[in-house]
Amino acid sequence: MRTPAALLAAAAALLTAASPSALAQTQQQRALGTQSQTGSPPPADPAAPAAGLGSTANRGDALTAAAFVRVAATSDLYEMEASRLAEQRAQNEQLKRFAERMLRDHGKTTGELKGMLGQLQGVSAQQMPTRLDQQHETLMQQLQGAQGAEFDRLYAQQQVQSHQAAVDLFRAYAQSGDDEQLKRWASQTLPSLEEHLREAQQLQRATQG
């Protein structure tokens, strides 16, 4: 069973995923769990942006339903904004079709989350994000500054990293979350995210040349 530390690390990974320095941050993100147990912060990466859920991780709390909803909904917002841009700028036709699917699938999960709000304890409509956090704004700015083949490579890279983090988060919450209904939903949504990840990995290989 995943521990609260594993849930925290997955949440932090999702909010820091997809930046060019994210792969270098993997160990730092995992160390968030160690921090909650030892009280010592992980080594700082001067090139890495701060984790959006750092305050939760620093408190050593388990990832609550409200925190999971916030992280998952923010991820959906980012996926849809990035994919709208990819529809306009991508040169690779497979990548454009992937972006269309991301808009459809992540729009669906956002709708499902909103539909559950009245049934989840401690979660209200006010806690659903309506705009990107600073971390994801930075990722969008990176995409907006890219063109042509550079855009295709960057979008594919971000999709691999963000979906890997999302898979980790949803799997962890499905195993150890604090709300049974939300745990079931995370478990049911996980296979779709895993499929997204596999497709993104294929696209990344196709755009690396």
Residue 126 lies in a domain: yes
135 lies in some domain:
yes
pLDDT of residue 205: 96
What is the rounded distance in angstroms from the CA atom of residue 208 to the CA atom of residue 176? 37
Domain membership flag for residue 51: no
Note whether residue 48 is domain-resident. Answer: no
23 falls within a domain: no
Q: 37, 119 in Cβ contact below 8 A?
A: no
Considering Cα of 90, then 20, then 24, then 209, what sign does the dihedral take? positive
In a domain, 25, yes or no: no
Backbone angles phi, psi at 159, to 5 degrees: -65, -40
46 is a domain residue: no
Cα 33 to the chain's mean position, in Å? 18
10 Å Cβ neighbour count for 150?
A: 11
Please give the chain's pLDDT, 209 residues, in tens. 555 555 555 555 565 554 444 433 433 343 333 333 334 333 333 333 333 333 333 323 468 999 999 999 999 999 999 999 999 999 999 999 999 999 999 999 999 999 999 899 889 888 899 999 999 999 999 999 999 999 999 999 999 999 999 999 999 999 999 999 999 999 999 999 999 999 999 999 999 86
For residue 121, give the CATH number of its domain: 1.20.1260.10
How many domains are there within the chain?
1
Residue 38 lies in a domain: no
Cα separation, 64 vs 166, whole angstroms: 16
pLDDT score, position 14: 60
How crowded is the C-beta side of 104, counted as CA atoms within 13 Å?
8
The boundaries of the domain holding residue 133 are: 63-207
